[in-house]
Amino acid sequence: MCLLGNASVGARKFLVKETRIEMQQLFLVLESLRFRGAIDILSMIMKLKC
C-alpha cells in the first residue's frame, strides 16, 4: 500500500514537471512568434518609409 502511495506521488510530480516543461515550450513558441511578428511589422514600416 505504501509503495502505491509513493508511486502515485511520483507520477503526480512527474506530470507536474512535464506540464511545466510543456508550458515553457509553449511560452517560448509564443515569444518567438511575437518576435517574428515584431520583425515583420518593422520590415513593413521600413518598406513604407522607403
Handedness of CA 23, 28, 29, 34 (dihedral sign): positive
Within-domain flag for 3: no
User: pLDDT (tens digit, 9 = 90+) per residue, 19-43?
Assistant: 888 989 999 999 999 988 988 988 9
Helices (H), 1-50: 2-49
Instruction: Please check the confidence at residue 49 and state whether its pLDDT lies above 60.
Output: yes
Instruction: Please check the confidence at residue 2 and state whether its pLDDT lies above 80.
Output: no
Q: How many domains does the chain have?
A: 1
Distances (CA, A) of 42 to 2, 29, 31, 38: 60, 20, 16, 6
Within-domain flag for 12: no
Instruction: Please check the confidence at residue 1 and state whether its pLDDT lies above 60.
Output: no
Within-domain flag for 9: no
Within-domain flag for 47: yes
d(CA 23, CA 13): 15
pTM: 0.51
Q: Identify the domain containing residue 37 by its residue range.
A: 21-50
3-class DSSP state of 16 = helix
Within-domain flag for 14: no
